[in-house]
Each structure stands twice: as C-alpha cells, then as structure tokens.
Structure 1
C-alpha cells in the first residue's frame, strides 16, 4: 500500500513499520529506539532475534545518538561514501536497544542515498531498516517484490526501483583491524584508498564475523528455484524449465528466461534479485549462473559472488 511521506512519518512516530526505499534495496523501517516497534520488524520478517540490524541516519551528527566512540576514520569514510551504500560498525551507546544489535556491544550505521528516506529520518528519528522481505527470501528492489512477500497492506514509501540492487558493504571500525564483514558496492580497495591503511576482508564462514553483520549468518537471498553455477558452456539453450544468467558468454535466444549482460556487472547486480523472483514466477526449477573467472576484476563482483553463493548454499 503506497503511502505519502507525511503518512509514513506519522506511522513511524506511532510505532508502526513502513517499507522505505534506498539505493541498495527496500528496507522495513521502524524507530530504532522503540523496542516494541523493532520487535514488529522481527515478527513481520520472521527474522532470527540474534541477527543485528543496521540503523539508518540522515545527518552525521546523529552518530552521537548511537555510537560511544567515533574514530577519525569514520569522518573520512563518511565524507567519501555517505550518503551511500556503506554501513559502519562502531561501539554502541547504552541507549541503543539490545534488540537492534542482537545483544552485541556494537551497532552498524549508515546514511542511505535516497531523498525520500533521508527526509523521513529527518522528520522522525534514526531508523532500523533490514530488507523488506520475508527472512531468507531475495531482497526487494521494487514495490512488487514487497507485495509478493507481505501482501498489499504493508505501508510502502514508493521511491521507484533501487539503483544498486545489493545490500550495503559492512565495514567494522570497532576493533584493532579495519575489516569488511559483508561485501557490497564499496569494496575493500576503495576503503583503503580513502584511509591509506590496510583493510581486511573477513572470512564469511567465521562465526565472529557472522555475529557482527547482517546478511552473513542465516539463510539469505534464496529463491524457490535451485541456484547453481553453470559448470559447462552452453552452445544452445532449449530447456525452458531453467533460467540462465550470463555476464560474459553471449547467448542468442528468444526465450524470456535467458539474460546476457556483456560484462555490465552493475546492471547484473541491480537486476539479480528480480531475476531470482522472476524465475520463481516462471516456475523454473533451476537458475544457472555463469561463474566469475579469477581474472575478471570489478568492485561489485565480490558482492555478486557472495549473494549468489549464499543462495546456492542455503
């Protein structure tokens, strides 16, 4: 159900949830300091309670409401990447409810790059906003995806389709090492270039990594169709029961379940979750994806591989 900015503001202030647009994916938002409102997010999504949430802000000064320690590195990254698809993990203030952080002493914070959502936060408070989908499903990048999971009654602030289509990078600044916990549009090298120091990339199978960041510990991004890497090259596609995504191989096919991107990796990232959901609408049994060879270099590829691997292994 589409709502206006004024209606969304009123709903948030009254302790309700609202689906909001960002440049990454749509989020299911609630007042970050209202425990009962945040509980509704977990209930509506079916999200595990120990899975931490990201808090969204509209102004750098709002960090003082959330973080007990704000190192100089935060300002450098914010100047370069905020508003934008970078979430920063910091030591939290006691005023941040434990339900938001999964009981951790850290909190993930970002400033989304969408004018409607920034306006909403300015009119209300910092908002928790995990992806507006049922837990485990592909994240939503448009209103149709949200309605598929929640029906037409969930209030949605309509901001058109997401520009990036993959969740934000999560970087941890709370410890001794600067560590990327979840890959996204902003990669480790981009962060290193800004900070002029080493940035580590966490092992996604490490339990301490999984606890600190959303999108690393539980089933995520999975369509009903089986997702597999395409092991053998395909010369001719005849099976309409499968769905194909290519990024280098050029496929000439009139079938609506075959898509080639000709090395346009940002577009593939933007469309990935929509492809997952479309394959389900077509009742395809399997989604085959051309693997990324090691010699291919693009900042978004680690994030693409991460989301696809989680869809495969879930």
Structure 2
C-alpha cells in the first residue's frame, strides 16, 4: 500500500520528500499539496511517467497535463517566448493560482500528449511543492483525482481515488484554497492575427483580476456586450465554461 506522509510533522516531511524524489527519479507518480488542490506529479521529461499519470486519472493524450515550475527562469527554458503582458501576469499572480498556456520551446525533448506545440505552466505558492520542484526540475502535474470526480483537497482524498497507481503521497492538511487554478491561453500574443489572452477555465484568479492587469488584451467573456470607454458599468457576466475536453487538467 502506497504510504501517506504527513508533512506537518518534520520527521515525516524529511522521509516523505526523500521517498518522493526517489519515486520521481524512477518514473513513478507522487501526490503533492499545492496552493490550489492536491496534484499528481510525474517527471515532465519522462514520457512513460507522463503516460502513467494520464492512465492513473483515466485520461487520454488529448488532455495533456500542465507543468509546474519552481520559478520564472525555468519557465523561460520551457517556452518559445514570454511576451510583456505575460510578464505582467507573472508579476501579479506568481507564485499562485494562474496557469499560462504558451508555445513550447521546440527544441525540448518531451511528450506531454497532444499539446499542439504548446505547454501550460504554473508556479505554485506552496513550500512543499516548490521544494520538490527545486530538486526534481519541472513536473507534469494534474489534479489528484479520477477524471469526472472532484479534485482531491487532502492526501487522503487523492489516495481514495488513485490508490497504488501513485507511489508516494505527501500530505499537508486540507488545501487552503480548494479551487483549481485559472487557465489562460496567451499563445496569440506570440503568434496570432489578434493578440488576446483567452480564459480557458476560471478558478483561483478571477476574470476581474486578470482584466486589472491586462485591460483590453483580455478577450471579453462569451456573450459580453461591448461597452464604450465612457460608460460606467459593472463586470461582464461570464458565459458558459469552456468544454472540459479542451482544458488541461490542472492544479
């Protein structure tokens, strides 16, 4: 039976982190706490480990996992370009609950699934996740649940669903947020006729918060009426959520 380490206890934290590093190095899966929900993690550059992650969740290659990083330096190594508006988003919301989709660095040797040349990247605001990322490098991480079920907000929740498909579970009590990250598509800022940032999934970061940073570069919510600059109005009401199949599973 795969062990659960309560990382609120220093002795279990040290043992759990050691076991987690070893598991990642062997191409196995690890459940980790993040600032949003718990995530199931694999070495982003081990295509067999990524395939195990998707299989454990009951997903196919059409739902590639996002990649968690320990800092902006790693982001720059993974993506083709970081446009200035994305720099603003990073300054405002990283580390934190915003996942950003950008064209991936074409020279990278990895296979996350059917990404169409993009990668979804996030820097989490959680000490355990960041410490592990510093030691392992980028991790492919998706919410710790079976597809179609609620994301785990404790290590025990994740264990109930994923069982022995995961080698090590790192627990840190209930997730402080419990809401998945917001996902934005910024690929058109790099190459597109109409440079806009599109919200793929609303979550921990609100559309209003994004608009404060991006202004008119944020694509209007579906069904939103255009408003003249002189008019005073409240925020537009968001339309239907994006098709779940088109949004990467993310913590």
TM class by shorter chain equals 0.7 to 0.9
> Relative contact order, CA 8 A, sep 6+: which one is greater?
2
Whether 1:31 and 2:43 are equivalent positions in the alignment is: yes
How do residues 183-194 of structure 1 correspond to structure 2 at under 5 angstroms? 183-194=202-213
Partner of 2:235: none
Q: TM-score, normalised by structure 2?
A: 0.78
Partner of 2:177: 164
54, 58, 61: which one aligns with 1:46 = 58
Q: Measured at CA, do residues 9 and 108 of structure 1 come closer, stay the same or move farther in structure 2, by a change above 3 Å?
A: same
Unaligned runs of 5+ in 1: 217-314
Per-residue CA distance 1:230-266 (angstroms, 9 max, x = gap): xxxxxxxxxxxxxxxxxxxxxxxxxxxxxxxxxxxxx
157, 160, 171: which one aligns with 1:145 = 157
How do residues 298-309 of structure 1 correspond to structure 2 at under 5 angstroms? none
- The total of aligned residue pairs comes to 214
Partner of 2:186: 173
CA contact (8 A) 1:30 1:127 kept: yes
Structure 2 CA distance, aligned partners of 1:205 and 1:134? 20
Partner of 1:127: 139
Report SS of the residue matched to 1:191: helix
How do residues 6-155 of structure 1 correspond to structure 2 at under 5 angstroms? 6-96=18-108, 99-151=111-163, 154=166, 155=168
Q: Measured at CA, do residues 103 and 82 of structure 1 come closer, stay the same or move farther in structure 2, by a change above 3 Å?
A: closer
Structure 2 CA distance, aligned partners of 1:150 and 1:101? 20
C-alpha displacement of 1:23: 1.3
Structure 1 CA distance, aligned partners of 2:110 and 2:138? 15
CA contact (8 A) 1:35 1:97 kept: no
CA contact (8 A) 1:53 1:102 kept: no
CA contact (8 A) 1:173 1:179 kept: yes
Q: What root-mean-square deviation, in Å, do the aligned CA atoms of Structure 1 and Structure 2 show?
A: 2.2
Which 10-residue stretch deviates more, 173-182 or 97-106? 97-106
C-alpha displacement of 1:195: 2.5
Structure 1 CA distance, aligned partners of 2:67 and 2:240? 22
Per-residue CA distance 1:153-191 (angstroms, 9 max, x = gap): 731111221111121000111112111110012112211
Structure 1 CA distance, aligned partners of 2:157 and 2:65? 21
CA contact (8 A) 1:18 1:157 kept: yes
